[in-house]
Amino acid sequence: MMNFDVDQLQTADILLFSGKKDRTSQAIMWLTNSKVTHAALYQDQGEIIEETPPSVKTYKLGSDQRFHGREIYVNRLNSQPFFPTPVIKAATTYLNQETPPPYAQNNLYLLGLILLYKKFQPNILIKRVMIKIYKSLATRIIDYINQHKSPGNSPMICSQFVFQCYEDAGEGYHLKIKKASWKESLLVNENNLSVVEQVISHVQRNSLTLQGLNQTGVDLDVQNIPLQTEEELAQELLEALKSNEVGTTDEIDDELAVAVHEFGQAAYLAESRAENNRPVMLEKSNELACDLNITPGLSFLKIKEAYFVTPEDLLNNCDNLVQVCVIKM
């Protein structure tokens, strides 16, 4: 692909940004086997619209220091004629709503979801870091809710926001995601199950009692823990993933199951309190919880997998998107 001038972009183009040098971006790229870590929509006149801390915002490409030195891969819906107005209208709807919680756009949130849906059995080193990540996320979410900040939007990561804007645009705009790269097995996994599926199986098999947590997800109370920074946790994760022991796998244990449960309960509670929550997702979660005899938090994480889209999926795993150019900032 040849370099393109920003002026030649078209409204509703999907922009995928190459990763930065920070450890969290490196971990996301490692787990998704990708070169991109962020997604946004091109609006007009050099302006993009994206979900990034602390809300859905618009930015000028050339004026934002975050993008300097990065490559932008530009994908476009392969449909003629293409009318971009419904996509931008959907994005503007999210833009005009109240500020969503900052944890939703946090890269640690994306990292945690990738680990949950990846098909692998984490070894003891990886499990240790995963427990820290999910406890950290659960604590941040509950702390946010306890400050009486009700999110205006359902929490979404950057790539899910782009995907949802196309979904909201109506018939003919659906992005057809084929097999996602994050579903591929990372380590030896005899059962070919994702981590969240292994956690659910562990809870059912061992009749695990998740003590100290409300089972309905209404009055969840997570004990505060010392919070490491996003970069510290990502650094630990990268070291664990690349360690010599990475080929040794272990069964899911109670400690990891509880940490995932805590995160799921917190995410379920945040979704249920969002002003524009997705009632279908919540209803399906409650039904699955009854069917599998698990908590709403765990069933919510399992249902959420169907809505999970990474930047890599938008770059290389969408049948009706075509890459039109690469911009070097």
Quote the Cα angle for 67-68-74, to 5°.
50
- What is the mean predicted confidence (pLDDT) over 207-225? 50
- In three-state secondary structure terms, 118 is coil
Residue 236, domain member (yes or no): yes
> Does the CA dihedral 33-112-156-201 come out positive or negative?
positive
Out of 126-130, 153-157, 210-214, least confident range: 210-214
Residues facing 42 on adjacent strands: 48
Quote the Cα angle for 23-160-306, to 5°.
105
Residue 80 scores a pLDDT above 50 = yes
**Gap between the Cα atoms of 253 and 202, Å rounded:** 8
Out of 51-65, 82-96, 125-139, 299-313, least confident range: 51-65
Instruction: Tell me the pLDDT tens digit for each residue of 237-263.
Output: 999 988 755 555 578 888 999 999 989
Question: For the sheet containing 71-77, what is the strand order?
Answer: 55-60, 47-52, 36-44, 14-18, 71-77, 321-328
Residue 145, domain member (yes or no): yes
- DSSP alpha helices (H): ranges in the chain? 23-32, 85-95, 107-117, 124-146, 158-168, 195-206, 230-241, 254-273, 279-292, 296-304, 311-316
Residue 263, domain member (yes or no): yes
Token readout for 195 is: 């981590």
Residue 152, domain member (yes or no): yes
pTM, two decimals, is 0.85
Q: Are the beta carbons of 16 and 163 closer than 8 angstroms?
A: no
Instruction: Give the domain extent around 23.
Output: 6-328
Q: Are the beta carbons of 131 and 259 closer than 8 angstroms?
A: yes
> How many domains in the chain?
1
Residue 1, domain member (yes or no): no
Residue type, 94: Y
- What is the mean predicted confidence (pLDDT) over 205-220? 53
Rounded (10°) angle between helices 195-206 and 296-304 = 150
Q: Mean pLDDT across the chain, nearest whole number? A: 81
